Amino acid sequence: MKRLSVPVCLGTLIVAVTMTGCTAVATGEPPQPPKTGARTPGRELTDAEQVRVERAEEILVKKCMEREGFTYWVGRVPSVPERQSYSYVLDDVGWAEKYGYGTRLQQEAEEARLNDRNIAYENALPKAERIRYSKALDGRPSSDVLSAELPGGGTIETPRSGCRADAKGRLYGDFPAWFRVEKTATNLTSLYVPDLVKDKRFLGAVETWSRCMRKEGHDYADPSELRQELPALTKGMSPAKAHTTEVELAVVEATCATETSLGNRLRTLENEYRDKKLKRYRDDIAVHQRMGLAALARAEHITSAS
């Protein structure tokens, strides 16, 4: 599915990459570090590949926690459709017909989170064992951490040890290196989005989409305005009626985005602005892609063996 994401916290456009990923090794041999200096072609992982990588990571976490003497269930990872539900504008009519804006998918994900067996298991442990469980899973976040500088400013930290870190190390071959390039490659939008959203071509494409929507009886200046009003539009409706209303609006949005080529225009602009604004990060992006593909190969082995 083609989509364009917009982080609500920023209120600015982000054209989402539809591919992300990682993978893991299921052998007893130590993982080989990726050849980050090699100039092999790279790409981002697809959503389906990302699902496989995250599932492999959960399998590795389970094995690690069991070695520490704890029960651990392979956690649920977001499905491909879920990953396609956060977007600035929908331009996939088929997806919109099936999922609307993805509200039901989000509700299902929240229900699964609230019923997570691992959380229930941890909470049922005696205090001393809960502490040991937490350290086994997440290491010592107060004292033993990795840190990475974000392209837009600031730093982010993560535990260096624990089963989650161990799983990522086995998947990517070098967890500290992966953490650094992953936080760089996935936090670049603030460097080009402010200029992109002021581009006359972007503004013109959104206005054309808005005119199409008005012709269909829906007066919205841009897709974000429609999303903001959706809860009020469906308030008081039965779940079935709310879903029907959501689907109807999503289909109109996607149809207009397709007919006016809004989605294609935004993807073209994103590629242009990324090429222009992100030159200093090209090496990190390339390493991120190569490490992701190396992890995918390992994940395929892990998931097929489990």
Asked if residue 145 is part of any domain, the answer here is yes
* pLDDT higher than threshold 70 for residue 31: no
**Among 105, 93, 83, CA closest to 5:** 83
Angle, helix 239-259 to helix 262-277, in steps of 10 degrees: 70
* pLDDT for the residue 273: 97
Handedness of CA 192, 261, 20, 82 (dihedral sign): positive
* pLDDT for the residue 242: 97
Cα–Cα distance between 145 and 282 in angstroms, integer? 26
Asked if residue 290 is part of any domain, the answer here is yes
Cα–Cα distance between 64 and 26 in angstroms, integer? 12
Asked if residue 121 is part of any domain, the answer here is yes
**Would the pTM count as exceeding 0.85?**
no
* pLDDT higher than threshold 70 for residue 185: yes
Q: Identify the domain containing residue 63 by its residue range.
A: 3-75+116-192+281-305
Asked if residue 272 is part of any domain, the answer here is no
Asked if residue 143 is part of any domain, the answer here is yes
Asked if residue 53 is part of any domain, the answer here is yes
**Among 114, 106, 103, CA closest to 237:** 103
pLDDT in tens, 91-147: 999 999 999 999 999 999 999 999 999 999 999 999 999 999 999 999 987 778 999
For the chain, the domain total comes to 1
